[in-house]
Structure 1
Amino acid sequence: MRHLPAPLRRHLTAIRALAVLTVLLGLLYPLAVTGVARLLAPGGAGGSIVRSGDREVGSAIIGQSFTDAAGAPVATYFQSRPSAAGDGYDPTSTGASNLGPEDVVDTLPVPGAVNEDGEPDEGRLSLLTRVCARSKAVGELEGVSGARPYCTPEGTGAVLKVFPGRAVSVNQACPATPFLTSYRGLPVRCATPGEDHAAGLTVPVRGNAGAPAVPADAVTASGSGLDPHISPAYAALQAPRVARERGIALAEVRRTIAEHTTGRALGFMGEPAVNVLELNLALDNARPR
């Protein structure tokens, strides 16, 4: 080794260090951490798998959708909150939409236009319109008002682009009827897809909607997109529908919700939450559909 050229000795030293660190940090350390985790929390280390009989039905720490083949909610089940992870609750695409409160203007699809892949132009929905559309859909499913501030009755963001002498309801494509006929004396018209509204002043319109009947977690995704919980308020909203569709007493459904509601961590951190998978599974086990 001492007789080898200096550059070669440095390379061999680097290779030895790589091999040692690979074994220590890439093999022994993960095995040790996994072993300790299995001793302290066997279920959590294995993915917190939830079973029904001999079947694995999901994970207690990863949410899932309770929809049919067409993507429509299955009425007999409590519904989870929305997910921005891939096509929904995809652990390989975990993350948020990265859209903030200022994302209020849609990009309307242009009829006949295609994207770079030759597919029809679908435009892009703003965060506000996504929230409005979800709130409207949840309201219709649960039989309550889905109205929210800054939303049109049709479930789009109530946003104007104001120019000298006119205003445009930018999230309502023509020939839709604008949610306002005028704004501060200016006539309001619908938006023409493909028209450039960047120079206009963006004005979200709050409207006269009061406190929303649909909770926030019913219309917004979690930061990870994998949250398996909903708020007790959202569970309570869904309880009458689930009881009706299953043909059981509302009191029984509410009692099951209470049994699967966890409190704040250490008594003060976070908010109470309901695990949707465990709640639906408990109802199935108590009263098979």
Structure 2
Amino acid sequence: MTMIASLAANARNSGAATPPVVDRGAWRGAIGLTILSLAGFGFLYSLAGVGLGQALFPRTANGSVIEQGGKVIGSELMSQPFASNGYFQPRPSAAGYNPMALAGSNQARTNPDLRKRLEEARAAVAQREGVDPSAVPGDLFTQSGGGIDPHVSPAGAAIQIARVARARGLGREVVEKLVAEHTEGRQLGAFGEPRVNVLVLNLALDALAASPAPSIATVSATGR
């Protein structure tokens, strides 16, 4: 009976709950890691990024703003609309060229509304430039993902040369030369595609023409 009682007692003890092991100092490490992460990634990393930007690319880091007569008229990093036929036109924008509301249309390629809008946009560009819709480069009737891409393709600029030259009373070859001078190559010779900054090109046109088209409407760097 003694052996049986001992076995029963062992069975009861083995089923008892084991008290949890609590490391009462673990929370100190967790809080310390949180503070270190916030300081490192939230402050030091940002400070290093700002410092490197100001040291290596100060103009770009500060928005690449362009001033005219002491007023900010735009940025080389953002597109803006131009009303006059004497200016090159940028890509369309789903955000209305508002840098505070950057967005694409977010419509799927299978969406019939997207197809209809693209067809209408292509037809409008073709009518403006006096060409067949099939000749219109894709970037002139499609929106960029951000909505304020400042560049057009060389083909997108070339198709506008005749209109701009006619509106400004300039020879076509003069405008062609200006477009060629403002065509940027691939980054580091390998990345991206050749492109033309529309705002910079239009400002060069104003500086070149004896009788420039109406001056660019003054806008703030934030688009407000």
Please tell me whether Structure 1 or Structure 2 has the larger radius of gyration of its CA atoms.
2
Residue 150 of structure 2 corresponds to which residue in structure 1?
Answer: 228
- Which of 84, 88, 93 is the equivalent residue of 1:83? 93
How many aligned positions are there? 190
TM-score of the pair, normalised by structure 1:
0.59
What amino acid is the match of 2:93? S
**Structure 1, gaps ≥5 residues long:** 1-5, 68-73, 105-125, 147-211
Q: Which has the higher contact order (CA 8 A, sep 6+)?
A: 2
- Give the partner amino acid of 1:103: N
Once the two structures are TM-superposed, the CA of residue 11 in structure 1 deviates from its matched residue by 6.3
Larger CA deviation: 18-27 vs 95-104 = 18-27
Query: Which whole-Å CA distance do the structure 1 matches of 2:24 and 2:80 have between them?
Result: 54
Q: Percent identity?
A: 44
Aligned-residue CA RMSD (Å): 2.3
**Pairing of 1:247-286 with structure 2 (within 5 A):** 247-286=169-208
Q: CA deviation at 1:241?
A: 1.0
| 2-structure distance, mates of 1:219, 1:132 | 8
SS at match of 1:221: coil
1:77-116 alignment to 2 at 5 Å? 77-84=87-94, 86=95, 88-104=96-112
> Which has the larger strand fraction?
1
Q: Deviations over 1:165-200 (max 9, x none)?
A: xxxxxxxxxxxxxxxxxxxxxxxxxxxxxxxxxxxx
Could you tell which deviates more after superposition, 262-271 or 233-242? Answer: 262-271
For residues 136 and 202 of structure 2, the distance between their equivalents in structure 1, rounded to whole angstroms, comes to 20
> What TM-score comes out, normalization by structure 2 length?
0.75
Can you give the 5+ residue segments of structure 2 that lack an aligned partner in the other structure? 1-21, 214-224
Q: Which has more helix, going by share of residues? A: 2
2:74 to 58, 66, 76: 58
CA displacement at 1:243 relative to structure 2: 1.2
- 1:216 matches 2:130: no
Q: Aligned partners of 2:65, 2:25: CA distance in 1, in Å?
A: 50
Q: Counterpart in 1 of 2:123? A: 136
Shift of 1:224: 2.3
Q: State the Cα distance separating 1:217 from its structure 2 match.
A: 0.8
Shift of 1:253: 1.1
How far did 1:33 drift?
1.2
